[in-house]
Chain A
Amino acid sequence: MLTALVFLPLVGSLLLLLLPQENKPALRGVATFFAAVELLLSLVLLARFAPSQAEMQFVEKYAWIPSLGISYHLGVDGVSLALVVMTALVTLLAAVASYSIQERVKLFYSLLLLLETGMLGVFVALDYILFYVFWELVLVPMYFLIGIWGGPRRQYAAIKFFIYTLAGSVIMLVGIIALYFSAGMGTFDIIELQQAGATLGSRLQWWIFLAFFLGFAVKVPIFPFHTWLPDAHVEAPTGGSMILAGVLLKMGTYGFYRISLPTLPDGAQAFALLLATLGVINIIYGALAAMAQKDLKRMVAYSSISHMGFVMLGLAAMTPRSISGAVFVMLSHGLISPLLFFLVGSVFYERTHTRMIDELGGLYNKMPLASVVMAFGIFANLGLPGLSGFVGEFATLLGSFDVFRTLVIVGSLGLIITAAYHLWMMQRVLMGEASSAGGLGKLPDINRRELLVAVPLMALVLFLGVYPAPTFELFNTAVLRLQNLMQLASLGGGI
């Protein structure tokens, strides 16, 4: 089942290569079809998933390179399944959002589906080598998506993204290998190596944690490893931005959840304060930097950095509520940021031909419905209760309060800055008299296809915000299991 889920997009990707280059509607149709089937498949998994069960589900395990203890091991818990569904949804919407792409359509969609295989693989892989392969696989298509369909500085941005993440993942690979040898169990299995956590010495854990940290930190991204992100976002085509912000950043935080915390509990304890501090720096620094941006995409990019800070804070506090909150923020941001990137990168840009805040203005009156959708996205992103952003941030801050009291208070103050830059942007872009961008008169409002992208995201943001119980229910068991593992490990370490 999971194998089909992971490799179906790859099949689609290869199939696209066989189709004629000229028939763009057919190419788009086939790609959308595969992405849609993929989403259905993930929903089937969701329906058949037993949230109360602590073990990995839909597990597939085959020996791959037995001599090195490498296996083909797939499985999901509530957290990874939630991310799988989110990935499938965002990819489908990114595919639909990219209908306006006219050049090299075949290659574009082929890479998009290849990317989906990589992302899903990361979330379901339970073997380090498999995990690493998928992790690197994600880089390639994203690199080309930015490098070929990107903006004027695409070369620079694509290479920066590629090299930076590659540097991080090479260090992560060193960490994997170090873990393999020091555990001495002759296996690369993620779940089995979790049991080894307690047996490793604290000092060793510290070093291995550092290696993983550097790998994941670039991806999240954590300050000061974040500067590739604004460049990549500004240059990436809209579909690429949606996936980059919606899914790729979560690979980093997912790494902490799946690997660093359960496998290296002592290392995690030693690093907790640093992680939490960096998380709060992300929140404040990202928000302040966002406030100063003149380019809408850059602003949303920095706001992503700010929001990922909440995830880091929640993971570092390591209480069940803070981790649940962190996972919730991952999902929520995975829905809100694609919505915002879609709006500023496609809906607004294609009509006004600018992303510069100073050149925009009065859009409420020029394209009312699109502006209302934008206002929705703005309020979701600034954490308005009733929408998903609030729930995750509230759970994270509440859950972290007992552990990092001062940091939570400082992080909360960041929410004032967050509100400020969002509303300031709203004032300059949506309110006021109509500016000359895209002409002084009315602009064509958001069209049906664009609504098809925006409405599912809005509906989910609303659902998660109004009634979050089912979503929490999906991954609470997995979070509690992580908590148990870490407690057992620290007990074992104590003995």
Chain B
Amino acid sequence: MAELAWVAAALPFFSFLIQVFITGPTRRRGDWVGIIATAASFILSIGVLLETTAGVRTGSSFLWATMGDRTFRFGYHVDALTGVMLVVVALVSLMVHLFSLGYMEGDVRYGRYYTILSLFTFSMLGLLLADNFLQLFVFWELVGLCSFLLIGHWYEEKANSNAAMKAFLTTRVGDIGMAIGIFLLYSATGTLQFEEVWHSVSAGLLTPATITAVSLLLFAGAVGKSAQFPLHVWLPDAMAGPTPVSALIHAATMVAAGVYLVARSFPLFSASPTAMYWVAAIGGFTAFFAATIALVQEDIKKVLAYSTISQLGYMFLGLGSGSLVAGTFHLMTQAFFKSLLFLASGSVIHALHTQNLHEMGGLYRRMRWTAWTWIIGSLAMAGVPPLSGFWSKDEVLLAAYHSGRPLLFWLGLITALLTAFYITRATWLAFFGRPRDEEKFRHAHEGDWRFKLPLGVLAIMAAFSGFVGSSWFGHPFTHWMETTLPSGFHLVELEPAGIVQLLALAAAVLGILLGWLVYGAGVVSRSALIRAAGPVYTLLKRKYYLDELYGWLFVRTTVALSWVVSVFDRYIVDGIVNLIAWFSTQLSFATGDFDRSVIDGAVNGVGAAFSAGSQVLRRAQTGYVGAYLLVLLGAMAAGLLVLAFIVD
């Protein structure tokens, strides 16, 4: 089965081709082609997971290009990390395919939507299967393309196309860093194949400085893709896309690709303490930073978007603290509970036609299924045992605790509290209390099976998937990850610390309790809280003014610079050209004689050309075609003269 892993990626690709060329992007029935292909990919992925977790590692590759004297290969590689990721991606993609049947029904570009969904699934699976950095980069860009196309799905609105553009360009900033990292890596090792690079690292062929530089440059790509500070600004705007897309691409899979990159390159990163420190620091800071913004968002999708940024930061905190298990484990559980939360919010948005939390309220009474699955997802994220997030968050905090960076540990802990608080806030505002918009509330209703089935499946995963990494079952996830490392590398066994578990649990409970006190019981009034926070509230509301800052610093300056360049080009560079032409026209008027000027000019060829040119310039006004031929003859004569001159 593991040898057939590449088929899992090929199936959605065929589905894409079928939808482009046969069912046609504007007609229906492409949807089920995509669903069947993704389902088949999912079944295959399970097979791959079962085999790879039993210790199977396999792969193969073919020659993709020989550039001059160097060869580059494409292929696939599977191990337990790939297996886990394949299952996560294929399952979430399948659920999103199903959910979209209802959510996107009647959309003007229904066919286009499903076509790109297939292309995305193919690209994402291809990214996971890559056995070298070049191939990874290729698919890395392709998922970015799909993200761009789907964020801009309703491109009639300027805000949506702006968001799509912002996403593509912001991530590209990171991607360029990643590309330079790849160049540097290739320059140092002469290969881009993962296995060979790891070998070079363990054999000590790279200097520590090179390892650090390559790691940090690759990490720049991850910072862009996984929306980490300071390149996080695109993800909240990306919510302009259809909600199922947010669940798939901007919560569970593509944004996790950055985490996957660091996890996949763990043999490289872990060889550089400096790089590891920065991964942990950026991750820890982003986790806290984004959680603070999530506190004040009014748009339910924006809450989830900042939450995603924050949780991705958590993963980097885990990886940077030296724990491959913590980062990848949290990646998996977050994929389930966050895509669940997004789809549940989609269900609400579909029913109410609003994303504003302040226009919701009391929905529990009308949408039980959605409410319960949302609650499961939010409890999982808050870290309530025994749901999945509890186990993985614990693992991250444990890693941070043992890494000897107390600041990052406490930052992670505070983030856990904030997380529990803001998700309780959102839960209460949406599902409990009095309905704040009676009109919308009256029309709200639960969707059919197309909504319920994906929510149910993901709720089960959000609840129970954490057990694969739980101490109750002997940490199977840790053993899986152990098998993915090349020989010579070992996982650091983290000693369980009761204090960490206790603090994490306390943070979750306290956060939920505070949230309930403010938004549920109304013990503290919201407006009083906002007044007390004062400027801090404004700062959070304006997202630390980073959009404004970037707008001035990068967008406006680039546009202004481009304007300066084009003016310079037109009036200086081209001005000089026209000046020379004008000058030689004057010159030839002075001599007044075409032939003489040619002969004079023939001594130095440049002069001849321009003098002849000036004559034609003058004659061109008459529009007489024959004059042009004279120019040619003149030039030929000049050439022959020069020739004769030298032959003599």
Contacts and interface: CB of A to CB of B under 8 A. Distances in A.
Interface of A: 68, 136, 139-140, 143-144, 147-148, 155-156, 159-160, 162-164, 166-167, 170-171, 173-174, 177, 181, 223-224, 226-228, 285, 288-293, 319-325, 328, 362, 364-365, 368, 379, 384-386, 390-391, 394-395, 397-399, 401-402, 408-409, 412-413, 415-417, 419-421, 423-424, 427, 430-433, 467-469, 472-473, 476, 479-480, 483
A224 B573 contact: yes
A227 B67 contact: no
Interface in B560-601: 561-563, 565-566, 569, 573-574, 576-577, 581
B68 A323 contact: yes
Interface string B624-644: 010010011001101100110
A360 to B, nearest CB: 14
Given A362-B156, A476-B68, A140 B632 contact: yes
B559 A479 contact: no
B400 to A, nearest CB: 34
A155 B616 CA distance: 10
A184 to B, nearest CB: 13
A103 B176 CA distance: 48
Given A173-B639, A468-B65, A469-B66, A163 B608 contact: no
Given A417-B558, A431-B155, 5 more contacts: A163-B581, A163-B617, A173-B639, A227-B577, A320-B68
A181 B643 CA distance: 11
B165 A385 contact: no
Nearest to A140: B632
Contact of B562 (A144, A289, A427): A289
B180 interface: yes
Contacts of A472: 65-67
Interface centre among A167, A368, A413 (most CB of B within 10 A): A167
Interface in B601-618: 605-606, 608-610, 612-613, 616-617
B512 to A, nearest CB: 42
A285 B566 CA distance: 9
Given A288-B562, A432-B158, A433-B156, A227 B573 contact: yes
Nearest to A475: B68
A394 B176 CA distance: 11
A175 B15 CA distance: 58
B68 A292 contact: no
A162 B161 CA distance: 42
B13 to A, nearest CB: 11
Contact of A427 (B69, B165, B561): B165
B138 interface: yes
A424 B145 contact: no
B266 interface: no
A147 B67 CA distance: 41
A431 B156 CA distance: 6
A385 B64 contact: no
Given A177-B643, A181-B646, A416 B605 contact: no
Instruction: Please give me the 3 A-B residue pairs with the lowest Cβ-Cβ distance, nearest first.
Output: A320-B68, A163-B613, A292-B566
Nearest to A180: B646
A177 B642 contact: yes
Nearest to A168: B609
Interface in B153-177: 155-156, 158, 161-162, 164-165, 168-169, 172-173, 176
Contacts of B187: 401-402
Given A159-B616, A288-B565, A291-B558, A432 B606 contact: no
B138 A385 contact: yes
B152 interface: yes
Contacts of B565: 285, 288-289, 292
B186 interface: yes
A263 B348 CA distance: 72
B113 to A, nearest CB: 14
A192 to B, nearest CB: 19
30 contacts: A144-B628, A155-B620, A159-B616, A160-B577, A166-B609, A166-B613, A170-B606, A171-B606, A224-B573, A226-B573, A288-B558, A289-B565, A289-B566, A293-B566, A320-B69, A320-B70, A386-B141, A399-B68, A408-B183, A409-B180, A423-B165, A427-B155, A427-B158, A427-B162, A427-B165, A431-B156, A432-B156, A469-B65, A480-B69, A483-B68
B628 A147 contact: yes
- Number of chain B interface residues as a range: 35 or more
A138 B165 CA distance: 41
B646 A177 contact: yes
Contacts of B169: 416, 419-420, 423
Contact of A170 (B162, B625, B639): B639
Nearest to A155: B620
B628 A143 contact: yes
Contacts of B161: 427, 431-432
Given A419-B168, A432-B156, A321 B562 contact: no
B334 to A, nearest CB: 27
A391 to B, nearest CB: 7
Main secondary structure of the interface of B (DSSP, over half): helix
A134 B206 CA distance: 52
Contacts of B635: 136, 166, 170
A412 B164 CA distance: 22
B364 interface: no
A247 B641 CA distance: 30
Contacts of A328: 67
Contacts of A163: 581, 609-610, 612-613, 616-617, 631
Contact of B67 (A325, A365, A416): A325
Interface string B107-119: 0000000000000
B455 to A, nearest CB: 32
Contacts of A291: 558-559, 562
Nearest to B569: A289
B179 interface: yes
Given A159-B617, A415-B176, A431-B152, A321 B69 contact: yes
Interface centre among B145, B574, B636, B638 (most CB of A within 10 A): B574
Contacts of A167: 605-606, 609-610, 613
Contacts of B162: 427
Nearest to A327: B68
Nearest to B577: A227
B168 A423 contact: yes
Contacts of B156: 362, 365, 431-433
B523 interface: no
A416 B166 CA distance: 12
Contacts of B26: 368
Contact of A399 (B67, B561, B576, B581): B67
Nearest to A467: B64
B63 interface: yes
Contacts of B608: 170
Contacts of A164: 577
A292 B145 contact: no
B563 to A, nearest CB: 5
Contacts of A226: 573
Interface centre among B67, B176, B574, B639 (most CB of A within 10 A): B67
Contacts of A290: 562
A235 B499 CA distance: 76
A432 B70 CA distance: 45
A160 B628 CA distance: 12
Nearest to A476: B66
A401 B647 CA distance: 45
A155 B608 CA distance: 20
B137 interface: yes
A384 B140 CA distance: 10
Contacts of B612: 163, 166
Nearest to B192: A398
A20 to B, nearest CB: 21
A346 B156 CA distance: 25
B620 A384 contact: no
A189 to B, nearest CB: 17
B101 interface: no
